[in-house]
Amino acid sequence: MKPSERGREKISEPFTFLGETFDTIDKRTVKRHLFYLVLASLMVKVLVLFATTAVFRSFVDLFDLQYYLQNALLLAQGKVPYLSYSFEYPVLIFIPIVIALIPALATQNGMAFVYSFQLLMVLCDIGTLLCVYFIGLKVWNEKTAWYAGLIYATAFSASYFVLTKYDAFPTLLLMGAVLFTVYDRRIRGYISATLGFFTKIYPAIAFPFMIFYHAKTTSLRQEIISTIKVVVPFFLVLLLPFLILRPASVGTYLVATGSGRDVYANSATYTIYAYLHDILHFGISAENVSLFMYALLGITLLFLLYLAYARTKTKPQTFLKIILCAVFSLVFFSKLHSPQYILWFTPFLCLLVAGDPGKMMLFYITQIFGYIEFPLIFGSYYINLNYVHPVGEAGWYMTLFFFTLKYLALVALIFIIIRPEEGIGKKMREIISGT
């Protein structure tokens, strides 16, 4: 083999999983893209840390990381989560917790755990970045994949939560499932989605849509059987023992529904409630508004399932849009809302706005709202369960106005993404172009 041929073979090795896509891409360009995307991602995280503390005089929230450390120490003492003590997250969160605990025990320094955990989440986020890029290669082309990756790398609000929560881990598993799906690696996709469920439940939302997507070329029966073969072993190993030894531990896997909790002040549910109850003076409780929102969630998910099932053929672009709508609906209609949920759907937004200046601008506007929401105005304008200022005061109206604009911007972005050539989007283009 000639030296030049050996060089080309070496360059090709990392891209063999791309299948037929491998033959149509410029490998050197892709490797250059990946280098700059990873560099941009790391730089943005450093800038976010600097801007948060030095420019905006705000804080880097370490509350969750401290909670993870407390549970890691209990584990080190021989106590079993879910059995010896209650723990509100699924079992696979202990993968990064145990890894980050090792340097903490070695140095006897709690901050070593924090830094190690943050590093693990940054690595997970880089993994998600790679998923976004390679999905973009399959669905679009090298140029659009570059834009999608760059937008994700510079999504500064999402970057903040990569450094302060563990949601980057389940997000990676969800995007891994989507990556394997669009590249027709069925079993790998089902495995990734299953692991996601045992990390933070919500990645399981992709399961039915993945099944319907693959069933277009195989059969629904075959895909259901494949799913069962994947899910059952994980269920037997990761969930069944806890159900046998302590049945109440199943509640851990239902915490994402918000069951038994009050409506969070930064949720869309509370925003609607504030208008109905405090401005229009309707005698309605926040819980009743929440019940209505969950009913809408059920209707929306059923409609999305119908779309995925009824289509004789589903394009990868349509698959991405359906998953985006499903994940966003979980966030929008839930009464339990944490700002880091923006991480859940940000990769899909990046893939679907890439290359369109108007959509990209609106995307960054939603990132600005997300960053202002947390950490900038948390504690001074709202806390988990209520606004800080009393009803009717200027601060109360400012808080309500902020969350109104935030959700309007998000809904507008989703609407424009899923209907790019129809309705309002088409009419706006006609007006701009003068046709």
What pLDDT was estimated at residue 12? Answer: 47
Query: Does the residue 433 lie in any domain?
Result: no
The DSSP secondary structure of 102-167, one letter per residue, reads HHHHHHT-HHHHHHHHHHHHHHHHHHHHHHHHHHHHHHS-HHHHHHHHHHHHT-HHHHHHHTTSST
d(CA 179, CA 129): 11
Q: Is the peptide bond prior to 103 cis by the omega test (within 30 degrees of 0)? A: no
Query: Does the residue 110 lie in any domain?
Result: yes
pTM, full prediction? 0.91
Q: What is the number of domains present in the chain?
A: 1
- Beta carbons within 8 Å of 424's beta carbon, 6+ residues apart: 415, 416
Within a 13 Å sphere around the CA of 121, how many CA atoms are in the beta-carbon half? 23
Q: What is the dihedral of CA 94, 99, 100, 105, to 10 degrees?
A: 110
Query: Does the residue 9 lie in any domain?
Result: no
What pLDDT was estimated at residue 194? Answer: 97
d(CA 136, CA 361): 19
d(CA 198, CA 238): 8
- What is the domain range of residue 393? 24-420
Cβ atoms of 271 and 404 closer than 8 Å: yes
Query: Does the residue 2 lie in any domain?
Result: no
Give buried/exposed letters for 317-345 (b at 16+ CB in 10 A, else e): eebbbbbbbbbbbbbbbbbbbbbbbbbbb
What pLDDT tens digit does each residue of the chain (435 aa) get? 444 444 444 444 555 656 666 566 778 888 999 999 999 999 999 999 999 999 999 999 999 999 999 999 999 999 988 888 888 889 999 999 999 999 999 999 999 999 999 999 999 999 999 999 999 999 999 999 999 999 999 999 999 999 999 999 999 999 999 999 999 999 999 999 999 999 998 999 999 999 999 999 999 999 999 999 999 999 999 988 888 887 776 665 555 445 557 999 999 999 999 999 999 999 999 999 999 999 999 999 999 999 999 887 889 999 999 999 999 999 999 999 999 999 999 999 999 999 999 999 999 999 999 999 999 999 999 999 999 999 999 999 999 999 999 999 999 999 999 985 544 445 444 544 444
Nearest Cα neighbor of 330 from 294, 359, 276, 279 is 294
Structure-token match 């109104």, residue found: 404
Query: Does the residue 134 lie in any domain?
Result: yes
Query: Does the residue 434 lie in any domain?
Result: no
Q: Would you report the helix, strand and coil content of the chain in percent, each value rounded to 5? A: 75, 0, 20
Query: Does the residue 234 lie in any domain?
Result: yes
What pLDDT was estimated at residue 366? Answer: 98
Query: Does the residue 167 lie in any domain?
Result: yes
d(CA 285, CA 344): 29
d(CA 301, CA 290): 16
Which of helix, strand or coil describes residue 382? strand
